[in-house]
Structure formats: C-alpha cells, structure tokens
Amino acid sequence: MEYRNMTANEHKLVGFIIDRKNRWKEHRDGNYLEKWREYERLWRGIFAEEDRTKQSERAKIVSPALQQAIEARQAELEEAVFGNGKEWFDIEDDQRDEQKEDVIILKKALQEAFKKDRVKKYVSQGLTLGEVFGTGVLELQVLKKTDINPATQPTGVEGLSAVGVTTSERVAVVPRPIVPYNFIIDPNALEIEDAFGVAVEEFVSVHTLIKGMEDGLYEKVKLCDAVADDDLERSQEQQNFQDGKALVLRYYGLIPASLLDEEEEKDEVEKATTYEDDEYDGEEDMEEYSDLVEGIVVIANDGVLLKAEKSPYMMQDRPFAVYRPEIIPGRFWGRGTAEKGYNMQKALDGQVRAHLDSVALTAAPMMGIDATRMPRGFKFEVRAGKSILTNGNPADVLMPLRFGETTPVNVETANLLERMLQQATGTIDSAGLPQTVGQQSDPGAMAMALSGLIKKNKRSLLNFQEDFLIPLVEKAAWRYMQFDPDNFPVKDFKFLPLSTMGIMAREYEQQQFIGLLQTLGPDSPIAALITKGIVQNSSLSNKDELVLAIEQLAQPNPEQQQQEVQAMELQNRLAQAEVAKKEGEAAKVNAEAQAVPMLAQAKYIAALSNNLDDDNEAKDFANRAKIAELQLKEFDLMLKKADIESNERIAALQTTSKNAEVQTKAIVERMKVERDKDGNLNVTKTKE
C-alpha cells in the first residue's frame, strides 16, 4: 500500500481539533476523572489504597450495598422498558397522511433490524454507564454487515442438493457504549447538539485502521507511534497491553470551512506526519469562526489525519444518545446512583472495616512472653498440638492476652447505614420496605411508602425516555432511511416509547387488581376486564394467548344470547299479563263500588215492602215511606251543613291572606328606598 503525506491545510485542521480536545479534556479530568474511577471501583468491588477512610484500617472489604442499588435501578428501568413483550417502541404517523401502511412497514423493519443487531444489549450497557458514572453515552455507527445463512441448492441430479451458505449485505446502525473516560465535550454546552463539538478518544486495533484504508474509508497515510495514556483505558487494569493498538480521535462538530477545502498547490507538502512538526499556537483566530460547517474528523495518534468531511447525515445531527439518570441544571454531566449513595457507601465501608479489624484483635490468639526465659533461636507459634519450650514454669513465662470483646454496635450501625443508602438511591425493595415503615401491619403506611418509590421510578423512567430512548430510536431510523431507503420508507414519523411500570409498581398494581376482583366477585360484568388487565400486567411468556382466550370468553355466545332474548320476551309477556290481571281486578272493585248505592236503594225498597200490616197495608207502607224520606232529607241537610262550614273556613283563610297582603303593601308604600354616593341601598320610613 502506498502512503501519502499530509498537506499543510490538513496539518492546520489537526492542530485546530487537537488544541480544543486537549483543553476540553483537561477541564473534564480536573473535575470528574478521579470521582469516576472511584465510582467504578465501588461498583465492581475493587479496593484501592486511596479508598481507605482512615490510615489505621487493615481490612480491605468493599460492601456490596452500592452494587445492589445500581443493579436494582438498572433492573427496574429495563423491566419497565423491555418487560412489555417484543415491542418497546411505537411509531405515530401524521393524522393527515392517508397511507397508514408505511408506518407498519417502518415499525416492523426497525424491530427486525434492532433484533438482529442486539440493540437491547447496548441500551442495557448505556443504562449501566449512566447509573455508575452519571452519564451513559451511545455512539451510533453506520456499518455494512454481511449476513451468512445456511442454504441448499439443487445440483441438477435428481435427489441430490448442494449444502452451503448464502450471503447478503445490509446496512446496520449499531449503538456502541462509550465510557465517560473516552468522551469529550465542549464544557460550555449542556446538550450534545449545543456543543461546539464532541469527540470520542479511545484505543483501537491497528488492523482495523489498515482495513479502513484498504476499503477507502480512511486516507492512506502512515501511522506514527501510539501515545501512551492510561486514563483512556476502558477498564481499570493492573497492566495495560500496548502492542498493536493506536489512539483514535473521532470528532463531530463545527469546523472552519476553509480547513476542509483542498489546497490548489499540491507541491507544498509537509514532510512530517506528526502534529508536533507543525506547531499550532492555539490562538483563536476570529476569521476561523466566520464560516463554520458541521463535519466529521478522524485523527490517529494525535497527529495523523485519517478522515475529514462535512457531515454526511441528512438531518445534520450528531450520532449520540445520552442517558443521565438525573440532570443537574447548568451541567452536561449527570448524577447517577453511585454519586447518590457515595457518602453512605464510604461510611458503611468504614464501619464494616472497623468491625473486621476489631474481630482480628479479639479472635486471634496473642501471648505475652518473657523473652529472657525462652530458648535461644526458638520460633514461637500458637497452634493445636504444638509443644512450647520454656526455661522455667510455663505459667510464669507465657500469659494469654485479650483486647476486650467485639461490640455488636458496629454491625447495627452498618445495617442503619445500608438502609440510609437505599433511601438515598431510592432502591428499597419490597423485602426491606417494612423495616422503614413504623407500623408494618398498617396497609396505609405501606401504600404511602410504595407510592414514594413508584414516583421516583416513574421520574427516572420519564427522563430515560425523553432524554435517551426516543432520540436513540429516532436517530437510528433517520440513518436507516438515508442509507437503506428501499427497506425503510422515508417519512416524517413520531416515535413513542412503549414502556410499562417497574416490577415494584407492577406488583403493587397487581395487588390492587386482585383486591378489586375479590370485592366485585366473578359474576361482575367487569370481572373479565380486570382479569385481562392482570394478565397484561404480568410477565408471563404466553400472556398474549391468555388475553386472547379471555377476550373470546368475554364475547357473548350467539345461542346463549338468543336464549337470553327469548327469556326477556317471556318475562315481558308475564309482566303484561300481570298488569292486565291487576287492571281487571281494579275494574271489578270499581264496578262493585258503583253497585253499592244501587244495592242500598234496593234494600231500602225491600225494607219498605217487608213486614207490612196485613189489615192496613197501604197506610202502613205510606207511613214507612214518609219516615224514610224524612231520614234522607235529614241526612242531606247534614251534608249541606258540613259543606257550608267548609266554605266558611276557606273564605276565612282567603280573607286573612288578603288582609296580610294589604298590610304588607301599606308598609312598603311608607318606606323610602335610596342609594348613597357609594351605590349602597338606604331604606328609610316616610311620614304618614
């Protein structure tokens, strides 16, 4: 392979980028690097001499409380995002778009691509980085991948087939986790898109750079010696391997357009290939900021330009997604679980180490010896079955020593500090929750404690979705649309996360569902809906089949529905018959009531005609008729008298009401109503 030398303009571009990178990196390392390294050691359980809480400590144990808190937070978010099944994001189309099938095509294509490239794994690693260091960064790299699949092919001979593989190329967008040690950003920026530029600085294998040169991805330039920098290693190791690797800087940001233009005079070529040979004083030239363009620059070993071009992305965005569990206003770097529980973790480690040091003093056997009465050259050891030689009585030469007893206060204090760490990080689980509640049997207190934890988890989940998940899916979709438009339709879509609740919130809601189902009973019309919600909220592998079965059971059976209609019709007929029967009985009672006066009159006539005097029947009948007529007249007069009394009472009431109305009217006429200067009503009496 023939290598070429860098031009003067390329040297200026390298100096422009390296100068800013060094200043940004110095600011980052001075403020965060040591803390990040300590957070990583506490998370991994690695002891270092600088982590001692006091110089007299001998124990080197690191308690797992912070590790548990970080893993609990990460598991809670992963359960909320990926615990809903196969789909963990959705796409919403424009309401005015009449073609809705393109949304389905893009959604299925993205899900298939994410599954092939194992995007969930990288998202999980980004979550881990965020919880440990406070900031998790994923860099989206567009790659060409070759899929190899087993296949058979007919050979032309009947019954024989050739067995082999088929290959196909595809575009892949792979999010790579970037450790904060390797990520550099403009200190003045609060977001990726607001920064003057961002850079990823890390060691890569030399063979990958050579392959990139052969494929045309990088310029064919000769690599200089690698720069040794232990701070850029991805993990803290005792010995770093230095062979076969190169320091690569990938810069994404603003660049003066003049530095990207090729020089017309090809004869002016710099002989040196390192940055030091073309000194760049770092002074800011105002003209360099007059015409800035978004670009991508790749530099090897702080001096060799491998690639420089304007941003090829159609959205002119930067290929990064950042997760910060808690955003600190006015600062790009976030705050994670390790930083929240740092103080309690240090106090807990100091308490546990003090307890272990105390146990070492009280449990190990120690002896006081009279050195003048021990045999010369004798090596004193205390162990079972050993004979000890002394010059004289052993009781006078040897004496066991005890430094008191180990107090259990250290262990109790350590348990208290561990609970305080869980409170600080918001990771108290359902097993340790009753210890923090005063009345453990009070369901109200437990519900209040759970609600606080659920609210914290929802807050973290919302931050994760808005700041990390949606931008990640959105930027990946843009790159698929640009570099593989045949399989990914180019449309303006809106991406939505399909998240559920964390496992703790889910368990709490399941208990509420079950309690409601027990209260309503199985015969309730909404029992099927509640059962469906319980199954959908679970983590069962076959919950889709169970939901479908519940929906089928909830649908009415046509035969059963027809029988119910017939039963309702029969019930309506019975009700109508009952009403008709009641109406008939009422008509009968009415007829009987009307017949009573007629019957009384008939009885009256019959009474007049009965028991007459045989000798003087006509005279006797006339007397009886006159007596009955007088009685009827007397009864009629009594009725008229009662009617007159009733009318008199009504008239008296009407007169009283009329008199009261007249008196009220007279009082009102004697009153004078006026308004004062403030608009208030004044009522005064007038002279009569």
- Give the pLDDT band of residue 619 (cuts 50, 70, 90): low
How much is the pLDDT for 305? 92
Element (H, E) at 288: none
pLDDT tens-place string over residues 552-577: 666 666 666 677 777 787 788 777 77
Question: How would DSSP label each residue in 491-550?
Answer: ---EEEE-----HHHHHHHHHHHHHHHHHH-TTSTTHHHHHHHHHHTS--TTHHHHHHHH
- Give the pLDDT band of residue 645 (cuts 50, 70, 90): confident
pLDDT tens-place string over residues 469-496: 888 988 998 999 999 988 888 876 776 6
Mean pLDDT of the chain: 76
Is residue 128's pLDDT more than 90?
A: yes
How much is the pLDDT for 620? 61
Among 324-333, 585-594, 602-611, 618-627, top mean pLDDT goes to 324-333
How much is the pLDDT for 544? 62
Task: Give 385-389 contacts, CB < 8 A, sequence gap 24+.
Answer: none
- Give the pLDDT band of residue 212 (cuts 50, 70, 90): confident
How much is the pLDDT for 276? 44
Average pLDDT over residues 227-242: 65
How much is the pLDDT for 678? 60
Is residue 96's pLDDT more than 70?
A: no
Phi, psi of 87 (to 5 degrees): -95, 130
- Give the pLDDT band of residue 15 (cuts 50, 70, 90): very high
pLDDT tens-place string over residues 456-468: 667 777 778 888 8
Distance set, CA 95 to CA 89, 99, 363, 555, 566 (Å): 19, 10, 76, 32, 45
Average pLDDT over residues 183-198: 94
Q: Report d(CA 638, CA 644) in Å as an integer.
A: 10
Is residue 60's pLDDT more than 80?
A: yes
pLDDT tens-place string over residues 389-437: 888 888 888 888 777 777 778 788 888 888 888 777 877 654 455 555 4
Write the DSSP symbol of residue 97: -
Lowest average pLDDT, out of 381-385, 539-543, 683-687, goes to 683-687
Nearest to 66 by CA among 86, 46, 94: 46
Contact 19, 11 (CB under 8 A): no
Give the rounded percent of residues in the chain with a pLDDT score beyond 90. Answer: 22
Q: Report d(CA 77, CA 83) in Å as an integer.
A: 9
- Give the pLDDT band of residue 311 (cuts 50, 70, 90): very high
Average pLDDT over residues 507-518: 66
How much is the pLDDT for 271? 43
Measured CA angle at 237 (ends 231, 243), to 5 deg: 75
How much is the pLDDT for 430? 47
- Name which residue leads in pLDDT, 590 or 392: 392
